[in-house]
Amino acid sequence: MLCLALFGVARAEEEPPPPEQAPAIQPAPAPPPAHIALILPTKARAFAMPADEVRQGALAAEQRLGDERTPKLQLYATGDSDDEVVAAYKQAISQGAVGVIGPMTRSAIAKLAQFGQLEVPVLALNSVDEGKRVTNLFGLGLSIESEARQVAALVQGDGARAPLVLVTDSPFSQRMRDAFAAEWQLRTGNPPQFQTFNSNREQSGKLKGQIAERKADAIFLATDTKKARLVRPYLGSNLPIYATSQIWGGHFGKSGGNGDLLGIQFVDMPWLLEPYGPEAAGYKRPDKPLVSDLQRFYALGIDAYRLTLQLIVSAPDAAIEMQGVTGLLRLSETRQFSRELMRSEIGRMPLTPGPEAPPAPAPAVTR
């Protein structure tokens, strides 16, 4: 018995151990879905409303142009801190973004530009630094300086030789003045004339005589609708008067409160000037009535989406030109998209009349 037990133990020790079971192969994690990131300051008090209209406009473009193969839009909301923009960009890239729309402020754009080489096309919704070219960084904005330069070109093209720029003491007005003057100097070699005005009735009453003394042959109103209404009665009707889009509230005819500004020539985007034209008519309009400035941000969202789709598939140095709802868009060597606006005149009716809704109030937005 002892021998058998020993023999049995010996046999058990000689048996090979059972083979180890191979670990199960885990499937590789699915890559994050490709998408277009909207890095917008929807949590910043000063920019929440325009940023949300940009978002709504981009969604309207996606609704019309997107399909199952098109990267979906995904919002990365930011606040007042520029550091949030860099964090949002990093998060978007890690989650599969193939393109970015935003940020909106110049300081946030500069902060992102310092981040280094950007991995995917970024369409910033403002001006980019022309002196510092950053890979994959492009700019598209609603620059009031660009509008003033286009007005200077119109004034010269109409044959004026001695325009007078009427300017207030606001920084916004002075930005228009400086841009107009720079373009006029570039085109003619001479500076335009300047005249400051305010709401003082006595000073305004002297304007007509001062304009005659200066022998001006055209007037550029470097101001907004409110100030223009104050000064318009003192300008007479002998000279052509020009302005930027800030002169017009987006409503056609006298019913829009334009009766005292009739005849003033200005520039603006097809989205507002030809709302029933071929470019703008195919896109969903905002769900609620908006003041003209917010309408322009909505249109900016539409064109930003369309351009981003092109940037994603284009060669790095491709020439891009597109007729957009914000104007004729062209990519310059500085990676800034220029906008060629339409010319119009207050009192002119749209191509196809449509219902006119009262605007909703909105805070002033500095562009």
Q: Provide the CATH number for the domain around residue 95.
A: 3.40.50.2300
What pLDDT, on a 0 to 100 scale, did the predictor assign at position 130?
A: 82
Q: Are residues 102 and 178 in the same domain?
A: no
What pLDDT, on a 0 to 100 scale, did the predictor assign at position 361?
A: 42
| 239 lies in some domain | yes
Q: Are residues 159 and 119 in the same domain?
A: no
The 10 Å CB-count burial string (b at 16+, else e) for 207-244 is beeebeeeebbbbbbbbbbebbbbbbebbeeebbbbbb
| 358 lies in some domain | no
- Rounded to 5°, angle at Cα 340 from 141 and 40: 15
Cβ atoms of 291 and 357 within 8 Å: the answer is no
What is the Cα–Cα distance from 233 to 203, expressed in whole angstroms?
13
Extract the tokens encoding 124. Answer: 């910033």
DSSP 245: G
What pLDDT, on a 0 to 100 scale, did the predictor assign at position 257?
A: 58
Q: Are residues 151 and 269 in the same domain?
A: yes
Among 276, 292, 316, which residue terminates a domain? 276
Contacts of residue 19, defined as CB under 8 A and 6 or more positions apart, other chains included, come to none
pLDDT above 50: residue 230: yes
Q: Are residues 45 and 139 in the same domain?
A: yes
Q: Are residues 103 and 41 in the same domain?
A: yes
What pLDDT, on a 0 to 100 scale, did the predictor assign at position 125?
A: 98
Q: What is the pLDDT of residues 126-137, one digit of tens each?
A: 999 888 889 999
What is the Cα–Cα distance from 124 to 327, expressed in whole angstroms?
17
Q: Are residues 107 and 213 in the same domain?
A: no
Strand partners, 166: 195, 221
pLDDT above 60: residue 366: no
Cβ atoms of 167 and 174 within 8 Å: the answer is yes
Question: Which residue in 90, 125, 87 sits closest to 308, CA to CA?
Answer: 125
Average pLDDT across the chain, whole number: 87
In the chain, what is the greatest distance between 2 CA atoms, to the nearest angstrom? 136
Among 252, 276, 300, which residue terminates a domain? 276
Q: Evaluate the omega torsion of the peptide bond into residue 355 and state whether it is cis, within 30 degrees of 0.
A: no
| 133 lies in some domain | yes
The 10 Å CB-count burial string (b at 16+, else e) for 144-160 is bbbbbbbbbbbbbeeeb
| 315 lies in some domain | yes
| 199 lies in some domain | yes
| 347 lies in some domain | no
Domain span including residue 298: 35-143+278-340
> Looking at 113-117, 147-151, 244-248, 256-260, which range is the least confident one?
256-260
Among 245, 276, 307, which residue terminates a domain? 276
Q: Are residues 130 and 174 in the same domain?
A: no
Question: Which residue in 117, 139, 142 sits closest to 130, CA to CA?
Answer: 139
What is the Cα–Cα distance from 26 to 32, expressed in whole angstroms?
18
Q: Are residues 121 and 179 in the same domain?
A: no
Q: Are residues 188 and 285 in the same domain?
A: no
Q: Are residues 181 and 283 in the same domain?
A: no
How many C-beta atoms lie closer than 10 Å to residue 343's C-beta? Answer: 15
Tell me the HSE value of 200 on the side-chain side, using a 13 A CA sphere. Answer: 9
| 22 lies in some domain | no
Banded model confidence at residue 253, pLDDT cuts 50, 70, 90: low
Amino acid identity of residue 167, one-letter, is V
CA 332 remoteness from chain centre:
16
> Looking at 4-18, 261-275, 348-362, which range is the least confident one?
348-362
Cβ atoms of 339 and 146 within 8 Å: the answer is yes
Q: Are residues 130 and 159 in the same domain?
A: no
What is the Cα–Cα distance from 29 to 129, expressed in whole angstroms?
40
Q: Are residues 184 and 129 in the same domain?
A: no
pTM: 0.85
User: Considering its fold, how many domains does the chain have in total?
Assistant: 2
Position with higher pLDDT, 100 vs 277: 100
| 354 lies in some domain | no
Quick check: helix, strand or coil at residue 75?
strand
Position with higher pLDDT, 140 vs 25: 140
